[in-house]
């Protein structure tokens, strides 16, 4: 039987943070041993705050070897309140005191055309990962993702045609059901080809969608990632987010 996604549940976000830190460090060390660099993509929303709680401070994080991309980004200036880059900067990057990672924000001169914005971001991936001729898909060492209350992840929304994208690495979206409507996102094949995928979901506001993701054949974006990644995918949640969810929790261990 195919291995299933790991569900790790903690009493609070405070107890989740050290486990997430250990998990990220394990992924970091494996990646640096493999190819000398740690390539990650991160979500916006509630994720950067939890990530900062997990990773700051830690003398085991080798920030200078990190290359950080955005799993999705809104087509807004980097200092806009809706910018995922802006959020990560405020929550985490500005608080780093020593080494800094290489960070890849969107090209804001292209905000008027989301297709060009996505193409330019895809080109940043091509430059980092190899040429499109030599690799079919970029393979991130780790994706750190959020899960929206509707089951979306990145800017891949339930039932949206973007879920069927098989060619582009990065795609534009003009009709995001969650504002702002104009965004770019990693596509599903890129997400599911990552070495590891970690979702973070906290709070009772997530419990209804967690039931749908873990108990039913819904086709929700988060469930599609679970199905494709199996045990390469791990969920770090608090008890409130999975109250009443019958899927088996695993004791956290590395
Ligand atoms: O719009 C977005 O929402 C999702 C989920 O956000 P959360 O606040 O419910 O965690 C986020 O992962 C994504 O990056 C963001 O653009």
Please report whether residue 16 resides in a domain: no
Residue of minimum CA distance from atom 7 in ligand 1:
45
* DSSP label of 231: G
ipTM score of the complex?
Answer: 0.99
Domain count, the chain: 1
Is residue 110 assigned to a domain? yes
116: domain range? Answer: 47-135
Whether residue 95 lies inside any domain: the answer is yes
In a domain, 6, yes or no: no
Q: Each residue of 88-133: pLDDT tens digit? A: 999 999 999 999 999 999 999 999 999 999 999 999 999 999 754 5
CATH number at residue 115: 3.40.50.1360
pTM, rounded to two decimals = 0.97
Asked whether residue 158 is assigned to any structural domain, the reply reads no
CA distance 87 to 229: 27
Establish if 40 belongs to a structural domain.
no
Is the CB of 44 within 6 Å of ligand 1?
yes
> Does any domain span residue 4?
no
Q: Percent of the chain beyond pLDDT 90?
A: 93
Is residue 204 in some structural domain? no
Place of tokens 């809104």: 74
202 lines ligand 1 (CB under 6 A): no
The 10 Å Cβ neighbour count of residue 84 is 25
Ligand 1 lined by 234 (C-beta under 6 Å)? no
Q: Has residue 60 got a pLDDT over 70?
A: yes
Give per-residue pLDDT as tens, 192-211: 999 999 999 999 999 999 99
158-195 pLDDT tens trace: 999 999 999 999 999 999 999 999 999 999 999 999 99
| Predicted local distance difference test score (pLDDT) of residue 2 | 72
């Amino acid at each position: 039987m195919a291995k299933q996604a790991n569900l790790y549940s903690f009493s609070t976000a405070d107890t989740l943070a050290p486990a997430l830190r250990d998990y990220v460090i394990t992924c970091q060390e494996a990646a640096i041993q493999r190819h000398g660099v740690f390539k990650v993509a991160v979500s916006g929303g509630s994720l950067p705050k939890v990530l900062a709680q997990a990773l700051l401070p830690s003398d085991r994080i080798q920030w200078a070897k990190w290359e950080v991309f955005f799993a999705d980004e809104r087509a807004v200036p980097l200092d806009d309140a809706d910018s995922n880059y802006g959020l990560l900067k405020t929550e985490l990057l500005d608080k780093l005191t020593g080494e800094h990672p290489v960070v890849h924000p969107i090209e804001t001169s292209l905000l008027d055309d989301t297709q060009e914005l996505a193409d330019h971001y895809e080109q940043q991936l091509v430059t980092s990962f190899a040429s499109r001729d030599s690799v079919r898909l970029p393979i991130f060492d780790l994706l750190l993702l959020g899960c929206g209350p509707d089951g979306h992840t990145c800017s891949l929304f339930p039932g949206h045609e973007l879920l069927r994208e098989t060619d582009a690495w990065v795609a534009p979206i003009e009709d995001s059901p969650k504002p702002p409507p104009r965004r770019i996102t990693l596509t599903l094949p890129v997400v599911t080809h990552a070495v590891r995928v970690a979702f973070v979901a906290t709070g009772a506001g997530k419990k209804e969608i967690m039931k749908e993701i873990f108990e039913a054949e819904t086709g929700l974006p988060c469930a599609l990632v679970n199905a494709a990644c199996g045990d390469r995918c791990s969920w770090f949640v608090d008890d409130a987010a999975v109250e009443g969810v019958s899927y088996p929790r695993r004791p956290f261990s590395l």
